[in-house]
Amino acid sequence: MLEKTGVPDADQIKKITPSPGRLKKGPVAVVECFQSIPCDPCRYACRQEAIKEFKDINDLPVIDHDLCNGCGSCISKCPGLAIFVIDDTYSEKEGLVKLPYEYLPLPRPEEEENGIDTEGWEVCSARVVKVQNAKVLDRTPVVWLTVPREHLMKVRNFLRKGGA
Ligand code: SF4
Ligand code: SF4
């Protein structure tokens, strides 16, 4: 499926999903990088060394979720926009997804958007909590969205409800 559509299948997603026990501890990175390409900036973005050393630049990244503290520093460093941070402890009903977003105009906090999956299908309503766009992010802003907790591993982008 991935080779034809660019969309990972359920087994691929299962393999990179943090364990229920790790999710209970707070924010954690999810690395949705499934194709072997010469790329490794994620490795050097992580001060916790949660993303393991590559033996070869074509290796797929391997993350130790127990070492990851969910800081999000790796999100904007990934040229493939393949890294997200999810927080299943955000509130009783809502989880937080931090995602890279390279479209303009940027959304504003409190806006309601349509959360979409990797295929572009609408999943749920999503509320913008914060937009990070500091110079250090090098023009890959990071948008924080709240979504129903059951959709934390589904929402990977959003469509502006205002159509922008
Ligand atoms: S979120 Fe922070 S600690 Fe986790 S892998 Fe990314 S840079 Fe490392
Ligand atoms: S930086 Fe992104 S695209 Fe490159 S290897 Fe890491 S996760 Fe994959």
> Mean pLDDT across the stretch 132-140?
96
Q: Which residues line ligand 1 (CB under 6 A)?
A: 29, 45-46, 48, 50-51, 63, 68-74, 85
- Cα-to-centroid distance, 161 and ligand 1 (Å): 30
> Mean pLDDT across the stretch 104-113?
96
Atom of ligand 1 nearest to the CA of 49: 8
Query: In the prediction, which pLDDT does 111 show?
Result: 97
- Cα-to-centroid distance, 140 and ligand 2 (Å): 14
Query: In the prediction, which pLDDT does 13 show?
Result: 96
> Mean pLDDT across the stretch 11-35?
97
Tell me the two tokens of residue 50: 């949660």
Res. 162 pLDDT band, cuts 50 70 90 = confident
Query: In the prediction, which pLDDT does 5 show?
Result: 82
- Is pLDDT above 80 for 140? yes
- d(C-alpha 76, C-alpha 134), whole Å: 11
Over residues 56-83, the pLDDT tens digits come to 999 999 999 999 999 999 999 999 999 9
Its pTM stands at 0.96
Res. 164 pLDDT band, cuts 50 70 90 = low
Q: Whose CA is nearest to atom 3 of ligand 1?
A: 68
User: Domain locations in the chain?
Assistant: 2-160
Res. 149 pLDDT band, cuts 50 70 90 = very high
Q: Which residues line ligand 2 (CB under 6 A)?
A: 31, 33, 39-42, 61, 78-80, 82-83
Tell me the two tokens of residue 53: 């050393």
Atom of ligand 1 nearest to the CA of 51: 5
- Is pLDDT above 70 for 163? no
- Strands of the sheet containing 83-87, edge to edge, are 28-31, 83-87, 94-100, 142-148, 122-132, 112-116, 157-160
Query: In the prediction, which pLDDT does 44 show?
Result: 95
- d(C-alpha 61, C-alpha 52), whole Å: 7
For the chain, the average pLDDT equals: 96
Q: Whose CA is nearest to atom 8 of ligand 2?
A: 33
